[in-house]
Amino acid sequence: MRKTVKKFAGNLTNSAKDLLPIILVVTVFQIFVLKQNIPNIEEIIVGTIFVIFGLTLFVYGLKLGLFPIGDTLAYSFVKRGSILLLILFSFALGFGTTVAEPALISIAREAALVAQSGGIINTVTEIKEYSQMLRYTVAISVGFSVVIGVIKILKGWPIYWIIIVGYLLVLFTTFFAPDYIIGIAFDSGGVTTSTITVPLVIALGVGLASSIRGRNPLIDGFGIIAIASILPIIAVMIFGIVR
């Protein structure tokens, strides 16, 4: 028990250190640049304490649950020797962790409103359908991104070729995509850096690379998130073109 409390206290201290630069920047600009008092200082202090505790519990939960799950699943799929099951799981992982992402829901809703103001859609039903279609487009593209990342690890493909081809496709689709969808597409690529997707996908990649002979976890285990940041951009631009 004492060991657990000591470990949690250490994690709490690390979380406070991580948030300290943000707190200092906001305080310095508020007091010395804007020359204004910090409003609701008591509520801000309480909120900051909650954030520190929340961040500590979140990081501890990742170490305790999500990372071991990713490693265990990757090892189990390699041991079973079924590439099809591994690919199906990889797609489901990418799709499932993205479709319910709050940031994606927000972007899809705002994109629908922008499309409405541009006269592309009109009724409330069309706005809802547009938002849902955009969400599923991004989620499906992230699912395929994880599949590509897994195949990259299995085949030993270098990550830079995939990134180069990906950004060339991004540039190509930009020329044909409607102006209003381009910014939405690039913002959609940032949705993949969500709090659930990143830990699980990284754990899957590192665990998979560690389980395959001849693969280096440091070289081959990472890079899936980079792929998952590119493919949604292309998918959303294509969505804007065909829509």
For position 79, what pLDDT does the model report? 74
Q: Which of 76-90, 103-117, 135-149 has the highest mean pLDDT?
A: 135-149
Tell me, letter by letter, the H, E, C secondary structure of the chain.
CHHHHHHHHHHHHHHHHHHHHHHHHHHHHHHHHCCCCCCCHHHHHHHHHHHHHHHHHHHHHHHHHHHHHHHHHHHHHHHHCCHHHHHHHHHHHHHHHHHCCHHHHHHHHHHHHHHHHCCCCCCHHHHHHHHHHHHHHHHHHHHHHHHHHHHHHHHCCCHHHHHHHHHHHHHHHHHHCCHHHHHHHHHHHHHHCCCCHHHHHHHHHHHHHHHCCCCCHHHHCCCHHHHHHHHHHHHHHHHHHHC
Residue type, 187: D
- Distance between CA 19 and CA 50 in Å, rounded? 12
Residue predicted with more confidence, 33 or 51? 51
> Could you tell me the pLDDT band of residue 108, with boundaries at 50, 70 and 90?
confident
pLDDT exceeds cutoff 90 at 144: yes
Largest CA distance in the chain: 64
Token duo for residue 57: 């519990």
pLDDT exceeds cutoff 80 at 60: no
Asked whether the beta carbons of 77 and 69 are under 8 A apart, the reply is: no
Lowest mean pLDDT among 86-95, 97-106, 150-159: 97-106
For position 25, what pLDDT does the model report? 83
pLDDT exceeds cutoff 90 at 179: no
**pTM: predicted TM-score of the whole model, two decimal places:** 0.77
